[in-house]
Amino acid sequence: MENGRLLSLVVLNFEQFWTQSRSSVMAGSLAASAFFHGPGSSPAASARSSKNTTGELPENLSVRGIVAKPNPPPGAMQVKAQAQALPKVNGTKVNLKTTSPDKEDIIPYSAPKTFYNQLPDWSMLLAAVTTIFLAAEKQWTLLDWKPKKPDMLVDTFGFGRIIQDGLVFRQNFLIRSYEIGADRTASIETLMNHLQETALNHVKTAGLLGDGFGATPEMSKRNLIWVVSKIQLLVERYPSWGDMVQVDTWVAAAGKNGMRRDWHVRDYNSGQTILRATSVWVMMNKNTRRLSKMPDEVRAEIGPYFNGHSAITEEQGEKLPKPGSTFDGTDTKQFTRKGLTPKWSDLDVNQHVNNVKYIGWILESAPISILEKHELASMTLDYRKECGRDSVLQSLTTVSGECVDGNTESSIQCDHLLQLESGADIVKAHTEWRPKRAQGEGNMGFFPAESA
């Protein structure tokens, strides 16, 4: 009801302004025509009508019958330079003009039209705009933007907000067209980027962001930064282009010197789980590039935000095997991709390769048959060493299952190793793959698996 009244008020004010503007323009045009004659008239023609009956011309007429003006406008009329004074006979002025005034060359004169004569009444426009703003301000104050529960407030613009008594941060993301892959669903790198974005925004929204990349003020004073040690994720389904996902994240303690961060990703409309993930973070000195203990001051900063809830209860606890190891005596096959080098865009503000980039390098050595017919169901990454700009890496993948017996309907397990060509390990990973679901079984892309 209030919105309808506001719209009616706006339309009424603009109708009044338009009517007043048209009236002002018409009044200005009539006033200008009253003071200035049209192009077909001239002062001389008007003067001829005022000629008296005796045949004498008015005193304000010149020899050629043109009205004399003290200050004629420049370029408005032309006056002959050879004009002479009238002779006198017996003290009386004599007109020596032999031609009649009616046949005299008439120089047209038109008054210039000024811009100011045709301007509308700007006060009406100012009044209309002021009325609109006042009505909008009144309407805004009448609306109640405070929800009954914090969870009822929809994060329309995707900025994120703190919920559940300040222990959980929530942010929404829209899946863009450039974030989907060949199978029309969001890539695992897209989902991992959402996890990283919410982690940083959580620190910023809580007021704990220092001058570093997610570092707190006390960490910045000591040149400490966060580095990820381990990530484990379980993917239930993959969102499609245009889907809205809702990401919840929170933190907890992980031993004496670590911090655990968990995520729970859901579909915004249906509430179905998309992904669950957990990670462990430790501190590293930015100058020495060595791991550091957590100072008590930093623990006092982040301690009030710790939440004991865990997103994944069945955590991967055993040590990840290297590629080449056998799975319970089954046959395996190994794939290698060499010559991987970081690009400038792969580095983050801490001057090392972003942890999401490692996933793409790990999958570089996975056979294309797996990527076409299977989707990633779970992944565990164990980060061993940071990677710099000048590093040259190789990716190793050991596969058991489909590549050996040719059965595309079974699950596949892979062990991955990303290492420097010099031999130092960067990341070890373990992945599990399931066959891509057929049309309508899970993903909202609605396409057969064979069309990927």
User: Distance between CA 278 and CA 197 in Å, rounded?
Assistant: 15
Query: Measuring CA to CA, how many Å separate 16 from each of 139, 220, 353?
Result: 22, 61, 63
Annotation marks residue 387 as catalytic: yes
Residue at 391: amino acid letter: S
Helix/strand/coil for 192: helix
The phi-psi region of residue 310 (left if phi > 0; otherwise alpha if psi is between -120 and 50; otherwise beta) is beta
Average model confidence (pLDDT) across the chain = 75
* Helices 122-142 and 2-35: angle between axes, nearest 10 degrees: 170
User: Distance between CA 188 and CA 238 in Å, rounded?
Assistant: 8
pLDDT at 50: 44
Helices (H) and strands (E) in the chain, counts: 9, 14
pLDDT tens digit string along 350-386?
778 888 899 999 999 999 999 999 999 999 999 998 8
Marked catalytic residue, from 202, 387, 414, 443: 387
| Most confident listed range (344-348, 360-364, 397-401) | 360-364
pLDDT at 189: 94
The residue with greater pLDDT, 145 or 192, is 192
What kind of fold does domain 148-318 have according to CATH? Answer: Thiol Ester Dehydrase; Chain A (3.10.129)
Marked catalytic residue, from 202, 264, 352, 430: 352
- Please choose, from the candidates 430, 396, 439, the residue with its C-alpha nearest in 3D space to the C-alpha of residue 411: 430
pLDDT tens digit string along 196-251?
999 999 999 998 888 767 899 999 999 999 999 999 999 999 999 999 999 999 99
433 phi, psi to nearest 5 deg? -125, 145
Annotation marks residue 264 as catalytic: no
Annotation marks residue 37 as catalytic: no
Marked catalytic residue, from 13, 201, 350, 443: 350
What's the half-sphere exposure (Cβ side, CA atoms, 13 Å) at 341?
6
Domain 321-438: homologous superfamily in CATH? Hotdog Thioesterase (3.10.129.10)
The dihedral through the CA atoms of 194, 199, 200, 203 has a sign that is positive
Query: 412, 397 in Cβ contact below 8 A?
Result: no
- Please choose, from the candidates 261, 362, 368, the residue with its C-alpha nearest in 3D space to the C-alpha of residue 320: 362
The dihedral through the CA atoms of 174, 179, 185, 191 has a sign that is negative
| Most confident listed range (100-104, 111-115, 119-123) | 119-123
pLDDT tens digit string along 152-171?
444 555 579 999 889 999 99
The pLDDT-based confidence of 387 (bands split at 50, 70, 90) is: confident
pLDDT at 60: 47
Secondary structure percentages of the chain, helix, strand, coil, to 5:
30, 25, 45
Kindly report the pTM of this predicted structure. 0.62
User: Distance between CA 412 and CA 319 in Å, rounded?
Assistant: 19
The pLDDT-based confidence of 80 (bands split at 50, 70, 90) is: very low
Burial class of residue 432 (count of CB atoms within 10 Å of its CB; 0-12, 13-18, 19+) = middle
CATH 3.10.129.10 in the chain: give the residue spans: 148-318, 321-438
Q: Which residue has the tokens 């109640």?
A: 144
424 phi, psi to nearest 5 deg? -75, 135
